[in-house]
Amino acid sequence: MDEVFKALADPSRRSLLDRLHAKNGQTLNELCEGLAMTRQAVTKHLAILEDANLVSTIRHGREKLHYLNPVPIHQIGERWIRKFERAKLVALGELKRRLEQSDE
Amino acid sequence: MDIAKFKPAIVYTIYIASTPEKVWQALTSAEFSRQYFFGHSVDVDLKIGGAFIVRTPDGALHISGEVIECDPPRRLTVTFNVNWPELVDKLGPTLVTWEIEQAGEAVRLTLLQSQDRELGDDILSGGRSGWPAILSGLKSVLETGRPLVVQMAPPQRMLDALKAMGIKTP
């Protein structure tokens, strides 16, 4: 679990996870597009995310694709969120999303 | 069916303190699956072309498919079609692959959900919310011997999106 929190502590790595959340299954080239990070830096960050099991990679044809793996985050949630709190948290999250949307 | 046409939409990985043989058994037996898969029973005829069936706790047919790849205890691919009227016609078939690898003293289990077309976030929200709970439950059962039954309904946004496509949901 330490590895997960260390990996998430860096804004560049969180932005890589955001990019995978927006579009799952990207190649290294796709992930580098439009980023103010060198390819080497992206590679290094991806390795840390993969070691923390927050990113899964697969070979698809000749490409290596990167996928967001939310399983460790789910396990963190299970540790501190009680069963009966989950529905209330989903409802609160939905309320926040709707209220913030209506301001756009 | 040409599985090369399918691209993974979801790839989830979990590490479990167990052996590949036990993970394989947990994935392919009803006795285990009832303890981590929302009470559902998995029944699979482990040969290429064999039937893959998932039943709800009350015995209703929920998912049907067939075995596409079978390499115990390393790799299992099945078609995984939820038995809601017109779902497969509208969304195309779903492939689910389990990859089991030894990783030191643990097992690295990877789940891939693949489609032959692009599906939107609303449709994929079902797998995105369900699989982490199933994988965590599987890990708990294998590591502690205690079942972890997670109560979870299909996400409303998925049900709404399916209804908008004319697919009947329970």
Please report the ipTM that was assigned to this predicted complex.
0.74
CATH number at residue A90: 1.10.10.10
> Are the Cβ atoms of A24 and B135 closer than 8 angstroms?
no
Domain extent for A74: 2-102
Q: At what angle do helices B121-144 and B20-28 cross, to 10 degrees?
A: 120
Residue of A26, A30, A56, A98 to mutate, interface with B, max B Cβ within 10 Å: A56
- What is the torsion angle, in degrees rounded to the nearest 10, for the CA atoms of residue B61, residue B62, residue B66 and residue B67? -120
Checking if the pLDDT of A102 tops 70, the result is no
**pLDDT grade for A103, boundaries at 50, 70 and 90:** low
How many contacts, defined by CB atoms under 8 Å, are there between A and B?
45
Residues of B in contact with A61 (CB under 8 A): 4
Nearest 10 degrees: CA dihedral of B52, B46, A57, A34? -30
Q: Which residue has the higher pLDDT, B3 or B100?
A: B100
- Provide the whole-model pTM: 0.86
Q: List the domain boundaries for chain B.
A: 8-164
B8-164: what CATH class? alpha beta
Average pLDDT, stretch B149-162? 83
Proportion of chain A above pLDDT 90, given as a percent: 62
Task: For residues B34 and B30, give the distance between their C-alpha atoms in angstroms, rounded to a whole number.
Answer: 6
Cross-chain CB nearest to A56 (options B4, B110, B151): B110
pLDDT band at B154 (very low <50, low <70, confident <90, very high): confident
Per-residue tokens: B105: 């003293």
Q: How far, in Å, CA of B11 to CA of A58, rounded? A: 8
Using an 8 Å CB-CB cutoff, list chain B residues near A60.
Answer: 7-8
Pairing mode, strands B106-115 and B94-103: antiparallel
Residues of B in contact with A71 (CB under 8 A): 12-14, 132, 135-136
The total of structural domains in chain A comes to 1
B136 touches chain A (CB under 8 A): yes
